[in-house]
């Protein structure tokens, strides 16, 4: 029996479990602070700096959730042939 990981399901399933939500929120806050801190000392407006820091924070935190799902929850996101 071959087992394949359903990549679409890993990427597109929203975090329903509380542990995934907490992990996503913590990573989002940490990465937002990391990207926003240097921008607040630049000459761009604070709103533009927040928007600029939001996009990489969202992508990195979601990528972290996808990585954790693929490592620790293989049974839930696998499809059998």
- pLDDT tens by residue, 29-61: 999 999 998 887 888 888 898 899 999 999 999
Can you tell me the distance from the alpha carbon of 64 to that of 20, in angstroms, rounded to the nearest whole number? 10
Q: How high is the pLDDT of residue 60? A: 94
- The count of domains in the chain is 1
Confidence of residue 78 (pLDDT cuts 50, 70, 90): confident
What length does the chain have? 81
For 16-36, letters b (16+ CB in 10 Å) and e give eeeebeebbeebbeebbeebb
* Confidence (pTM): 0.79
Which pLDDT value is given to residue 81? 61
From 2, 4, 1, select the one nearest 78 (Cα to Cα).
4
pLDDT, average across residues 3-26: 89
Q: How far is it, in rounded angstroms, from Cα 2 to Cα 68?
A: 22
- What's the mean pLDDT when you consider all of the chain? 88
Residue ranges making up the domain that contains 33: 3-80
């Amino acid at each position: 029996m071959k087992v394949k990981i359903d990549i679409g399901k890993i990427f597109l399933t929203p975090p329903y479990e509380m542990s995934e939500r907490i992990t996503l929120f913590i990573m989002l806050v940490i990465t937002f602070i990391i990207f926003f801190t240097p921008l607040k000392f630049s000459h761009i407006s604070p709103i533009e700096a927040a928007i600029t820091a939001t996009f990489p924070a969202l992508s990195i935190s979601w990528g972290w959730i996808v990585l954790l799902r693929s490592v620790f929850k293989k049974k839930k996101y696998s499809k059998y042939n």
